[in-house]
Structure 1
Amino acid sequence: MKRYDNLFFDFDGTIMDTSEGIFRSFDYALESFGMEKPGPEVYKTLIGPPLIDSFRNAFGFNEEKARLGVKRYREFYAPKGLYMVSVYEGLESSLSALAESGRNLYVATSKPEIFARELLDKHNLLKYFKMAGGSDTDEKRVKKQDIIRYVMEKCGIASGENCLMIGDRKYDAEGASKAGMDCLGVAWGFAEPGELTESGCIAVAETPDSLPSVIKSLESGS
């Protein structure tokens, strides 16, 4: 029977609903360029990939303008948008149960590490994780697979064989695959319909409080 000893959690759309702060930060950045605001349906698709990629791919910015876009975004996000969050109902009880079962919990997020750690600490969740790893603020470590590998290296995890990534977007599944581990999708985040199964998630958890039972089911093969 397989056992997932090491659980890697995405942050935005998996641990916390961070949408309000992210949407308003995009509004602020685009307004600074005199651009129209596309609204929540477009912004929702931008939660997950590296921020600089969102400015390049969604808004057609060149490299220099994309970096300026990130800077403008964070002018609003760091003092205000960061704190416009809520922990998904039932998530903490699952974290507690999974940690008590002897598993090691980690965060692997494209969000800057300093922001992820601050929010986890503020909401009394940091205690459940062996490490909260994220991107660096100079945008050099931003791809999901690089962040997963960074956490693995820091924590002495040589192989992804007994590891499980848990996240709400295709970027989590793709990064997990490149790091040699399975991915469990979560239905309460920002994925488009069908995105999680199409990207290779081995299963999808419907609610935060179902995580322990879904993981046990995967381990038993049922």
Structure 2
Amino acid sequence: MVDLDGTLTDPYVGISSSILYALDKLGHPAVDEITLRAAIGPPLEASFAAMLGGDPVLAKQALGFYRERYAPIGAFENRVFDGIPDSLAALRAAGVRLFVASSKPRVFCEQIIERFGLAPYFDKVHGSELDGRWADKSELIAHVLEYEAIDRDQCVMIGDRRHDILGARANQIKVIAVEWGYGSPEEFGAYPPDTIVAEVSELAPAVLRHLRLEAA
């Protein structure tokens, strides 16, 4: 399973611009870059709640405004990290089944994967639903494992944030953290993955080692 934002693509421009749009629509001051970067990866409604003093009603309103801009514009203000297509191709060539598992709404995930030419590498794209189902990464991973009848011993979660790590741990599967996304050394220290990869070129070999498809 592979996370989307911060793992396959760099979505900073689209997500940050859409967050600022939503806050402006609410008449709320803009937040700083640290806050914007921290919002990439976790369920967005919870991030808005943190920005808005914990108010769940305002958080839902903010999410609605966010999608006003994100759906037609922000989703495509994005770029695939260099080397990702080659890594995915190498895994497919080795017989690995690949699934997107993202807290982002599935409809946006599917559009992004298709737009940026990544669809041929994936068996299926899984994400949250617009009503909030599967936004929690642990629940999403459990859903994908069941839906796809995946053997936990032959599954690895790949992501860049603690939510990916915690979701994998909750479902007793291995987890690889990538350093090119939005996690930090402090985050990975507090929530240790099984493996950390620093470069995209290291990703496919790390996955294959965990799946025992090549020598360690």
TM-score band w.r.t. shorter chain:
over 0.9
CA contact (8 A) 1:197 1:203 kept: no
In the TM superposition, what is the alpha-carbon distance from 1:141 to its structure 2 partner? 2.1
Identical columns (%) = 32
1:196 alignment partner, one of 188, 193, 200? 188
CA contact (8 A) 1:133 1:150 kept: no
TM-score (norm 2): 0.94
* Rounded Cα–Cα distance in structure 2 between residues aligned with 1:65 and 1:221: 52
Structure 2 partner of 1:34: 27
Structure 1 partner of 2:199: 207
Computed over aligned residues only, the root mean square deviation of the Cα atoms, in angstroms, reads 1.5
* Rounded Cα–Cα distance in structure 1 between residues aligned with 2:208 and 2:109: 27
Structure 1 partner of 2:42: 49
Give unmatched runs, 5+ long, in structure 2: none
**Equivalent runs, 1:114-193 vs 2, <5 Å:** 114-157=107-150, 159-193=151-185
Structure 2 partner of 1:84: 77
* Rounded Cα–Cα distance in structure 2 between residues aligned with 1:122 and 1:74: 18
In the TM superposition, what is the alpha-carbon distance from 1:39 to its structure 2 partner? 2.4
For 1:133-153, what per-residue CA distance to the aligned partner results, in whole angstroms no more than 9, with x for missing partners? 000001122100111122222
Give unmatched runs, 5+ long, in structure 1: 1-7
* Rounded Cα–Cα distance in structure 1 between residues aligned with 2:29 and 2:206: 42
* Rounded Cα–Cα distance in structure 1 between residues aligned with 2:103 and 2:184: 19
Structure 1 partner of 2:65: 72
* Rounded Cα–Cα distance in structure 2 between residues aligned with 1:130 and 1:215: 17
* Rounded Cα–Cα distance in structure 2 between residues aligned with 1:160 and 1:48: 23
Structure 2 partner of 1:63: 56
CA contact (8 A) 2:88 2:121 kept: yes
Secondary structure of 1:161 counterpart:
helix
Secondary structure of 1:104 counterpart:
coil
1:107 alignment partner, one of 89, 95, 100? 100
* Rounded Cα–Cα distance in structure 1 between residues aligned with 2:58 and 2:106: 23
* Rounded Cα–Cα distance in structure 1 between residues aligned with 2:108 and 2:66: 14
* Rounded Cα–Cα distance in structure 1 between residues aligned with 2:27 and 2:130: 25
* Rounded Cα–Cα distance in structure 2 between residues aligned with 1:35 and 1:221: 54
CA contact (8 A) 2:113 2:119 kept: yes
In the TM superposition, what is the alpha-carbon distance from 1:58 to its structure 2 partner? 3.2
How many residues of Structure 1 are paired with residues of Structure 2 in the alignment? 214
Structure 2 partner of 1:5: none
* Rounded Cα–Cα distance in structure 2 between residues aligned with 1:60 and 1:24: 20
In the TM superposition, what is the alpha-carbon distance from 1:51 to its structure 2 partner? 1.0
CA contact (8 A) 2:10 2:78 kept: yes
* Rounded Cα–Cα distance in structure 2 between residues aligned with 1:76 and 1:202: 37
Structure 1 partner of 2:91: 98
In the TM superposition, what is the alpha-carbon distance from 1:217 to its structure 2 partner? 4.2
Q: Which moved more, 1:165-174 or 1:208-217?
A: 208-217
